Amino acid sequence: MKVGVLGASGYAGVELLRLCAAHPDFDVAVATAGGGAGQRVAEHTPSLSGAYPDLEFSPAGIDGLDGLDLVFSALPHGQSQQFIADLDGRIGTFVDLAADFRLTTAGAYATWYGDEHQEPSYLDRFVYGLPELTRAELAGAPLIAAAGCYPTAATIALAPLVSAGLVERDRIVVDAASGISGAGRGTSEHLQFGQVDENFTAYGLLNHRHTAEIEQNLGVSALFTPHLAPMVRGILATCYARPASATTLPSTDDALAVLHDAYDAETFIVVTADVPSTKATAGSNCAHVTVRVDPRTGWVLALCAIDNLVKGAAGQAIQCANLSLGLKESTGLPIAGMWP
């Protein structure tokens, strides 16, 4: 299948190229880059030299995509709205890694992203791309909005507990830390080595835009606080919820059983009694999840670790594309992490 990657020079775009190189059914024919047109991919990203010795970046835009079986967009938020109407019908499947079509209403998008949505008629045409949540809808879907990185981790940690009625749907708190690759490849003072190294900071207090996606996925009210950690890859989401019953507190074993029931058949989710770590998921499309119930305070604590560039971005996008195209869901995706 002929594949295009828009925004192929960014971190998520490079990860898409890396994973597509290992996919037996994908052949990357077009890789666009705004400032790198004409440059060889191997020159820009030497780690891809063996896979793409001759592929050159194409100019930004949608010219040259006609007839492709699959196109991934790793462009910044807001850009896919500008061309989706023109691209629609000219390619097979389109998978957007940005937030343009994740939220279900134009009003929610305007509230959380600060701009009016340019193509609101497409919002109900896109399928939300979190396979463990929307697998049935993804089969054959031509337009997919891949889930965000933080919402993926929080949703995987909490969804079974919410669905089982084990926890309340309000007073949910999500604290999550991400590596700096989640901020993209652009230069910024707060992402420089001297600023990030040996530092751990919160940001987006009270109004981070991923809050809306977390609440939409789970049907809850949540307080979400993201943090920037001094590492390259990974997200660890630590989620707090109150038990649904004020008189009967579930045990940790009860809560773990709910996760096992939900996820033991899932290829890319590992339910563990141990504490998940970002290092264990690095390079893989797996999420590691656990839960604890604290009888002393009455809180339910759920944790999920993922690689933000794989399960949180490129890997999840390919997982969604596999489902859309009728391929085995796990095709081309790494299940084992890198260690050390």
- 93 SS3 class: strand
At the topology level, CATH places domain 2-125 in Rossmann fold (3.40.50)
Residue 189: what pLDDT?
A: 76
pLDDT tens readout for residues 48-103: 999 999 999 999 999 999 999 999 999 999 999 999 999 999 999 999 999 999 99
**Which of 20, 149, 286, 320 is flagged as catalytic?**
149
pLDDT tens readout for residues 291-338: 999 999 999 999 999 999 999 999 999 999 999 999 999 999 999 999
Residue 34: what pLDDT?
A: 86
227 falls in which pLDDT band (50, 70, 90)?
Answer: very high
Residues recorded for the chain: 340
Q: Where are the alpha helices (DSSP H) in 70-129?
A: 80-87, 106-113
| Catalytic site includes residue 320 | no
Residue spans per domain, the chain: 2-125, 150-308
Sorted by sequence, the CB contacts under 8 Å of residue 179 that are 6+ apart come out as 229, 231, 232, 233, 234, 235, 278, 308
Nearest to 33 by CA among 45, 25, 24: 45
Give whole-number Cα distances, 323 to 82, 101, 239, in Å. 26, 19, 29
187 falls in which pLDDT band (50, 70, 90)?
Answer: low
What's the rounded Cα separation, in Å, for the pair 175 and 299?
Answer: 14
> Which whole number is the average pLDDT over 254-274?
98
Residue 191: what pLDDT?
A: 76
Architecture of the domain delimited by 150-308: 2-Layer Sandwich (3.30)
